Chains A and B, each alone.
Chain A
């Protein structure tokens, strides 16, 4: 079985400050890890993924994520938040199954 946890329903950060959205996972074998963003009234949009290789993955809009195998985590980060980053963020994991499992989502609010 595979699972993913996003422990924070909401993250608040001031514009210009660094942001972190947390994700931990459980999977058999090597994980495929993904982050998606959902803006209001839109579908989920792929941000970045980790499959193998460098533990620090860079994605769209200046976001990056760090894969930590020992902590089974894949936290999303950005050095300087923008108000336009405010959205719902989903972490997803895929193990041996073809079907990824999504977390419940974290609402990111960036204050001006």
Chain B
């Protein structure tokens, strides 16, 4: 398996623009997590999906953030409109809940909002 795939790897955009981050989890995994990492705040959980259904979105910062998982092999995290304080590295991770629970992380998307 290729592991968790994220795209794009880098994104530079201007304040106010819409940003869409994409994730393909490991085949067979039933759970998907979106995280944000910054120096100041560390690793933050944004949202957790189980069997394509959002279970916990309490970490989503505000209404500008939304996430979808239309099927077991694809998820998106959208920021609209983007702001400079959204600059961070965004990770997607997948796991098999009900099995061993360890998470497998993608390489991340480094987002810079100017």
Contacts and interface: CB of A to CB of B under 8 A. Distances in A.
Interface string A77-95: 0000000000000100010
A34 B33 CA distance: 16
Given A44-B103, A46-B104, A90-B43, A98 B31 contact: yes
A43 B43 contact: no
B55 A44 contact: no
A45 B102 CA distance: 10
A43 B101 contact: no
B102 A43 contact: no
Main secondary structure of the interface of B (DSSP, over half): strand
Interface stretch (B60-68, B73-81, B105-113): B105-113
Interface residues of A, number: 18
A98 B93 CA distance: 14
Interface in A32-80: 32, 34, 36, 42-46, 49, 51
Interface in B1-37: 4, 31, 33
B100 A43 contact: no
Given A43-B91, A98-B97, 8 more contacts: A36-B105, A44-B43, A44-B91, A44-B103, A44-B105, A46-B102, A49-B102, A104-B42
Closest 4 CB pairs of A and B: A43-B105, A44-B105, A46-B102, A104-B42
